[in-house]
Amino acid sequence: MKVYPIKFNPILKEKIWGGNKLKQVLLKDTNKKNVGESWEISDVNGNVSVVSNGIYKGSNLKELIKEHKSNFLGVKNFENFGYNFPLLIKFLDAKTDLSVQVHPDNEMAKKYHDSFGKTEMWYIMDSDEGADIVLGLKDKTTNPEVLNHITSVNLDTIFNREQVTKGESFFIPAGKIHAIGAGVLAAEIQQTSDITYRVYDWDREDDNGQKRELHTKLAEKATKQFESNGKSDYVIGKDDMANLVNCEYFTTNILELSNTQEKNYKHLDSFIIFMCVEGKVDITVGEQTETLITGETIILPANTQHVVFNSNSSKLLEVYIS
């Protein structure tokens, strides 16, 4: 497989809670309003990403996997996932609160939806003053049956809410109640799944005066209790790397760059994704260089070996399956 930094056309999603930061801050080209999500790399049915650069321009993600198999995915990934891409990569802009929700694990998703479960993580790229997120139930002894009785009166006694700031990272395993709050701009890495069980949607209505469907019975079955809030405790220095998440579904590191660095991925049996969450960087593989600015994403095939990064100031999320 020809190795170079592969870019895809973003798939932009209007959401009832979306805003304008994906267009105005991350410079996504769209005339849509209330854009809440930019799907950077997707293999979700009906939303398969299409290559925007290089010799594979015009090919979609499915076609790359079908043609190049383990050279693109990695040997173990191709054995485990076949012709399916295992991750969904997004940027999100929450102008208002997302619904409080929970995702099923692999076992439940397979049983009810014939799908993967949904474990995910967030990296906070920016946040308005006082912005917060919902992470789990406030009382670890609370019976998930309470999710059938959430109201505007009791929600603050049930959900754990935490203020967030730029640079923080959170791991949300399947089964954890969560919601991104108003004013948060985030990068999201997740299993390939679009299954969400809503348990509370802030009593809002759409343009037709209809409230969105809730899925409280399924949410009750899916909800698990976790002792940790999932916040990554990391410290990173100049031209350094730190691990944010290392789970069975993905590994995510953060790289801080201020000069030229080289990395060798010869012994990594996986594709590598880079999301630029701050600044600007040139990524060179072989004879081809691609520039990433804040809000852009590239993928390198699994047969990539030598990579050169050149940046005066940038931060990248590095994602792969180990």
Is position 212 annotated as part of the catalytic site?
no
* Catalytic site residue from 161, 198, 204, 212: 198
Q: How many residues would you count in the chain?
A: 322
3-state SS string for 152-197: CCCHHHHEEEEECCCCCEEEECCCCCEEECCCEEEEEEEECCCCCE
AA identity, residue 10: P
CA dihedral 129, 96, 314, 291 (to 10 degrees): -150
Beta bridge partners of 180: 133
Please measure the distance between the N-terminal and C-terminal CA atoms of the chain and give it in whole angstroms: 21
Cβ within 8 Å of residue 319, ≥6 positions away: 87, 89, 189, 250, 251, 252, 272, 273, 274, 275
AA identity, residue 113: H
Give phi and psi for 157, each to the nearest 5: -90, -10
**Strand (E) or helix (H) holding 54:** none
C-alpha span between 296 and 53 (Å, rounded): 13
CA nearest to 317, candidates 81, 8, 89: 89
Cβ within 8 Å of residue 250, ≥6 positions away: 86, 87, 121, 189, 191, 319, 320, 321
As annotated, the active-site residues are 198
